[in-house]
Amino acid sequence: MDMTKWSFKQRVYTMSFFFNVFGGKKASPPVSAPAPAAAPAPVKPARVNNGQSDPSDIMDRISSHNKKIEGLEKRMKHLESKIEQCEATAREKVAKKDQKGM
């Protein structure tokens, strides 16, 4: 492909193509009016029953915390098993004197 015979328009088109493909300036999006700020979420008052929280609300919180604890315990057990597997493979590689780890 001989670029010396190309017209000026062909050269500009080709150069703009390469700039667009390989990180040239990107066209800025049209400027529009800024979006109105969202109103803050209303604060939900705590359920109060003569100065004390509702017992069902407390039980809901306790059950949700128990579920989170169970999930974290499962995650911890899984990570411990993964660590044991990695340690076992590392011991095997040390026994084979495999310094590259492959």
Tell me, what's the pLDDT at 48?
A: 56
4 DSSP 8-state letter? G
Contact present, 93 and 101 (Cβ < 8 Å) = yes
Give residue-wise pLDDT tens across range 28-87.
666 666 666 677 777 666 555 565 667 788 889 999 999 999 999 999 999 999 999 999
Q: How many domains does the chain have?
A: 1
Range of the domain at 81: 70-102
Residue 40 falls inside a structural domain:
no
Residue 81 falls inside a structural domain:
yes
Residue 26 falls inside a structural domain:
no
Residue 62 falls inside a structural domain:
no
pTM here? Answer: 0.43
Residue 60 falls inside a structural domain:
no
Residues sharing a CB contact under 8 Å with residue 93, sequence separation 6 or more, in sequence order? 101
Tell me, what's the pLDDT at 13?
A: 65
Amino acid at 30: P
Using DSSP bridges, classify how beta strands 48-49 and 52-53 pair: parallel, antiparallel or unpaired.
antiparallel
Residue 46 falls inside a structural domain:
no
